Amino acid sequence: MDRSWIKLHRRFLESPVWKYAIDAHYPVLISLFIHLLLSVNWEDKKWYDGKKENIIPAGSIITSVNHLAISLDTSAQTIRTCLQHLENMQMITRTTTNKWTQVWIVNWLKYQMPDNSNNKQANNPTTNEPQTTNKRLTTTKEYKKIRIKEYIYNTFFLTWLEKFNVLFNSQYKPTKKNNELYNLRRSTFTTEEMEKALVAISKTGFYKGENDTGWKATPDFLLKTDEQIDKFLNMIKGKEVNYERIDPATVKF
């Protein structure tokens, strides 16, 4: 494996993975996808899960969120978010248990098998991976059912909320309300401005509980109005800010 290689087409620069990572300043998404491309099986392999022997098809890998987090020197939550992004983009499919995750690279065989090969899989792409295809279809159908049943969050918002939790040492979960608030603010501000405002508020002790009441800013507090975002962007620019626009003590959610 250490002397093998993969194909990476120049069209990758036009892929949703590349575009999202650049637009959202989220390079770890590219790192994870390339890591998966380099790590998946290049041929079908046997794997014992402790109970029975399984065939892990070419183009897939048995791994875990924690293993990927260690490999990329990032948090488990970041890996979960990135995997969800890649699945939304239909770049991967996956099956997850409480111990491991099996990830498939969509169309891996189509792009990675040698052009001139005696391998039956390479010469017969329509029948080269019946087991993989079946699992992919099953995973895709199951995922679509979940998407229909559940509320779909803006991926930019999930990234923003993850950063909020890191900066404020909090554990806020996404809600329909703050997702919609984020979308409203995004109609006025760019993703970069939203992130800059978040960083700015995190640098002010008052909003992190250093006040008489111990009150701390919440995602809803920052996302409540365009004026809120503008206020903290003005802090970066060194402009005079009218802090009377919103009094934290009077804010109700």
Q: Which domains does the chain have, with CATH numbers?
A: 10-149 (1.10.10.10), 155-250 (no CATH)
- Residue 100: its pLDDT value, please? 84
Asked if 67 and 103 touch (Cβ cutoff 8 Å), the reply is: no
Render 59-126 in DSSP notation, one character per residue. Answer: TEEEE-HHHHHHHTTS-HHHHHHHHHHHHHTTSEEEEE-SS-EEEEETTHHHHHS-SS---HHHH-TT
- Residue 99: its pLDDT value, please? 77
Residue-level pLDDT, tens digit, the chain, 253 residues: 455 788 888 888 888 899 888 888 889 999 999 999 999 988 888 887 777 777 888 888 999 898 898 888 888 899 999 999 999 888 898 888 777 888 999 888 777 765 544 444 433 433 333 344 444 333 333 333 333 334 566 777 888 888 898 888 888 988 888 888 988 888 788 888 888 899 999 888 889 888 889 899 999 999 999 998 998 888 755 444 333 333 434 433 3
